[in-house]
Amino acid sequence: MKKFCITFLLVFQSSLTIAEEIEFRVIALFKNAAMIEHDGKQKMLRKGQIYKNTIKLISADSHIANFLVDGKKVSMGLQQSGISGAFFKEEKNAEKKFVRIPRDNMGMYRTSGLINGVPVKFLVDTGASQVAMNENTARRVGLQYKLYGKKTNVSTASGISLAWFIPLKKISVGGVELKQVNALVVKGTGPEEVLLGMSFLKQLKMQDDGNLLKLTKKF
């Protein structure tokens, strides 16, 4: 059993209702089951079960759990110790959506998200010109980068590496979703995490208060 702690905060608000706050933590993951903590109480959810008429577990394994929270699909991946995961707030019928990502104990902004609907771990990297991933991640996401990608060379910590330039259909992080985002698939096993580079970030407004990074869709 792998244990971790992720705090998840989702706020919905419309002009007709008072904002309702839903907060829970995932404290353990199993195959087709997840244990959550809500209002100080622990609850084991099996696949398909609904808690408080609000939180439904869609699927789970030892690394990630997929929930429906008030009809909104949310994926929570296994995080490193000290990482609290992504906070996000989404307003119904609002044009702008945003995500809040807390800084981890290593001083980095890491969060879980989706590439083409597949859960991945992201490292926010403003120094990377493109979203970048290794070949193993690209294959897991289902990218046919060698067939449809354009070959190029990139500079890495270990020197010059072969890479493939390919657009991604969709990237989702919390309440932010962008389509047709340019990315690089780097030959080999690095980077270990998907670098959330400027091909994604330049389309967002970024606010960093030192401990929390807020990304907001510009339009």
Structure-token pair, residue 211: 């401990």
Whether 65 and 170 share a structural domain: no
In the predicted structure, residue 99 carries a pLDDT above the cut 70: yes
In a domain, 90, yes or no: no
Are 145 and 215 members of one domain? yes
pLDDT at residue number 75: 75
**Residue 73 shares a structural domain with residue 100:** no
Mapping DSSP to helix (H, G, I), strand (E, B) and coil, where does residue 136 land?
helix
Whether the CB-CB separation of 197 and 125 falls below 8 Å is answered with yes
Would you place residue 96 in the very low, low, confident or very high pLDDT band (cuts 50, 70, 90)? low
210 and 132, same structural domain? yes
Q: Is 38 exposed, middle or buried (0-12, 13-18, 19+ CB in 10 A)?
A: middle
pLDDT of 24 higher than 80: no
pLDDT, average across residues 47-66: 85
Examine the domain organization and report whether 103 and 47 are in the same domain. Answer: no
Is 170 part of a structural domain of the chain? yes
Would you say residue 162 lies in a domain? yes
Confidence of residue 12 (pLDDT cuts 50, 70, 90): very low
CATH number of the domain bearing residue 133: 2.40.70.10
Same-domain pairing of 74 and 100? no
Same domain flag for 18 and 105:
no
In this predicted model, which residue has the larger pLDDT, 169 or 27?
Answer: 169
Report how far residue 206's alpha carbon sits from residue 36's, in angstroms, rounded to the nearest whole number.
31
Amino acid at residue number 146: K
Question: Among the residues of the chain, which ranges form H helices?
Answer: 135-141, 145-148, 198-201
Based on the fold, state whether residues 39 and 107 are members of the same structural domain.
Answer: no
Lowest pLDDT segment from 37-51, 106-120, 123-137, 174-188: 37-51
Q: Is the pLDDT of residue 16 over 70?
A: no
Residues 6+ apart with CB under 8 A from 182: 130, 131, 165, 166, 167, 168, 199
138 and 216 both lie in a single domain: yes
Q: CA nearest 46: which of 58, 64, 28?
A: 58
> Residue 21 corresponds to which tokens in the numbers above?
């706050």
Q: How confident is the model at residue 35 (pLDDT cuts 50, 70, 90)?
A: confident
CB 86 within 8 A of CB 99: yes
Judge contact between 203 and 138, C-beta under 8 A. Answer: no
Q: What is the percent of the chain where pLDDT is above 70?
A: 79
Residue 2 has pLDDT above 70, yes or no: no
Residue 119 lies in a domain: yes
Residues found in the chain: 219
Range of the domain at 115: 96-219
Q: Are residues 33 and 141 in the same domain?
A: no
Number of structural domains (the chain) is: 2
Q: State the pLDDT at residue 40.
A: 67
Instruction: Indicate the average pLDDT of the chain.
Output: 80
Q: Are residues 102 and 74 in the same domain?
A: no
Residue corresponding to tokens 């699909």: 73
Confidence of residue 158 (pLDDT cuts 50, 70, 90): confident
